[in-house]
């Protein structure tokens, strides 16, 4: 047999093995627990599929068995295989060399993940950063800053591509020396939320998009808590930036604790609902952090982020004028309206509005809904 024939044979064999993984994973009613039982009983998926209906009937209900060998599943398998041949597309299974060891350590690892981008990032040290979708300006800035510093230190930042804190963490990681992994709760070919479509494309180009859900899976509420175990499972720890007590980010934090990972939280104002979740975690034993170095001291003692190169930094703004500095001091740390600022500073509404605009353009103040403003550090 010449080398070209050998390569062709190897490709056929690899495609068959991958097709068997897909056939099992795409069959409705054949959940993760049943799949693990079948793999334990028969071995690799090729052996499961090759066992035939007679032997599998002892382990699977008739409806599941019918679906497993149905034309509909065969068509989905072929579509997924065709998709995997696209540029930067990969299907990574439990027995694949690229499958991350960190996910093998969790109770319910995904049998197969769809990947778009740099699959090698699955082997890099990682940290999850998550938080509120309705983040404050300060929370967004903190998420970006921590993500960038930890990316500069060599950590891939993992998050869920949601609006708010997740998006800021991805952007901060991409601005650093490492990169980012976005774990999505839809098919990887479904860009959600629409407001982060351009960010998803940037992550796919420079980082990695992954999902355990089949191609074309639309957003569904029950999928997002499930994807959170992958976010926490990929990371050595999980950092909560801002989260209300009802936030889905706390599901990620609980998953991290169950997986034996470190949990970190940035404290906030005692008056802010978005601080309640983080404060609750701190009371329960999560580590309070004020800087990226606090995270690194736990996960990688002695490692500090390299200073970012000047070419990647935004142009530094000059110090605020004396009048603007006074206004910033009077603002304090909480959101405030113009009338309250006028009362504190003894200035007219016109004067305060002009100074706020100047500070907003400098990136030192953020306008919030409801006519409020907040200082950004």
d(CA 178, CA 207): 9
Query: Could you give the number of structural domains in the chain?
Result: 3
pTM exceeding the 0.85 threshold for the entire prediction: no
- Same domain? For 326 and 359 the reply is yes
Residue 188 belongs to a domain? yes
pLDDT value for 148 = 95
pLDDT value for 312 = 41
For 64-109, write each residue's pLDDT tens digit: 999 999 999 999 999 999 999 999 999 999 999 999 999 999 999 9
- Same domain? For 139 and 281 the reply is yes
d(CA 36, CA 273): 41
DSSP structural state of residue 303: -
Record the tokens describing residue 118, joined without a space.
């740099």
Residue 17 belongs to a domain? yes
Residue 283 belongs to a domain? yes
- Same domain? For 54 and 141 the reply is no
Residue 97 belongs to a domain? no
**Can you give the residue range of the structural domain that contains 72?**
3-83
Record the tokens describing residue 151, joined without a space.
């990316």
Residue 88 belongs to a domain? no
The whole-number mean pLDDT for each consecutive block of 10 residues of the chain, a chain of 377 residues, reads: 40 76 94 89 92 89 94 96 95 93 93 96 96 91 94 96 96 95 97 92 97 96 93 96 92 94 93 92 95 91 51 54 86 83 90 85 75 76
d(CA 225, CA 211): 13
- Same domain? For 331 and 270 the reply is no
- Same domain? For 11 and 68 the reply is yes
Q: Return the closest-CA partner of residue 12 out of 280, 20, 224.
A: 20
Distances (CA, A) of 27 to 59, 72, 76, 77, 301: 14, 10, 10, 10, 45
- Same domain? For 360 and 221 the reply is no
- Same domain? For 220 and 294 the reply is yes
- Same domain? For 53 and 135 the reply is no
pLDDT value for 11 = 46
3-state secondary structure 329-342: HHHCCCCEEHHHHH
pLDDT value for 74 = 96
d(CA 132, CA 244): 7
- Same domain? For 297 and 360 the reply is no
The distance of Cα 221 from the centroid of its chain, to the nearest Å, equals 16
- Same domain? For 206 and 353 the reply is no
CATH code for position 346: 1.10.10.10
Q: Beta strands of the chain (E only): which ranges?
A: 89-93, 112-117, 126-130, 156-159, 180-183, 208-211, 237-240, 262-265, 287-288, 336-337, 365-368, 372-375
């Amino acid at each position: 047999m010449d080398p070209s024939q050998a390569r062709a044979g190897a490709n056929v064999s690899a495609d068959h093995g991958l097709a068997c993984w897909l056939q099992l994973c795409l069959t409705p009613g054949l959940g993760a627990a049943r799949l693990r039982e079948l793999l334990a009983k028969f071995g690799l998926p090729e052996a499961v599929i090759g066992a035939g209906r007679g032997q599998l009937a002892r382990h699977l209900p008739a409806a599941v068995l019918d679906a497993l060998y149905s034309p509909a599943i065969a068509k989905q398998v072929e579509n997924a295989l065709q998709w995997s041949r696209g540029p930067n597309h990969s299907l990574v299974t439990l027995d694949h060399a690229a499958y991350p060891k960190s996910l093998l350590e969790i109770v319910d690892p995904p049998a197969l993940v769809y990947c778009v981008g740099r699959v090698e990032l699955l082997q890099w040290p990682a940290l999850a950063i998550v938080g509120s979708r309705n983040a404050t300006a300060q929370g967004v800035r903190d998420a970006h800053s921590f993500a960038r510093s930890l990316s500069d230190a060599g950590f891939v930042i993992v998050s869920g591509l949601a609006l708010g804190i997740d998006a800021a963490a991805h952007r901060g990681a991409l601005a650093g020396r490492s990169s980012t992994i976005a774990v999505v709760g839809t098919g990887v070919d479904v860009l959600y939320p629409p407001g982060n479509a351009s960010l998803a494309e940037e992550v796919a180009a420079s980082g990695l998009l992954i999902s355990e859900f089949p191609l074309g899976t639309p957003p569904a509420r029950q999928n997002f808590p499930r994807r959170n175990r992958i976010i926490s499972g990929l990371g050595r720890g999980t950092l909560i930036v801002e989260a209300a007590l009802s936030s889905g980010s706390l599901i990620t934090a609980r998953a991290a604790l169950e997986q034996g990972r470190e949990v970190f939280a940035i404290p906030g104002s005692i008056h802010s609902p978005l601080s309640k979740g983080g404060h609750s975690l701190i009371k329960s034993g999560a580590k309070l952090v004020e800087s990226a170095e606090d995270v690194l001291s736990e996960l990688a003692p002695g490692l500090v982020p390299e200073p970012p190169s000047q070419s990647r930094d935004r142009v530094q703004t000059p110090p605020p004028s004396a009048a603007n500095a006074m206004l910033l001091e009077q603002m304090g740390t909480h959101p405030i309206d113009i009338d309250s600022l006028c009362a504190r500073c003894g200035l007219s509404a016109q004067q305060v509005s002009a100074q706020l605009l100047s500070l907003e353009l400098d990136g030192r103040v953020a306008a919030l809904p409801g006519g409020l403003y907040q200082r950004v550090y």
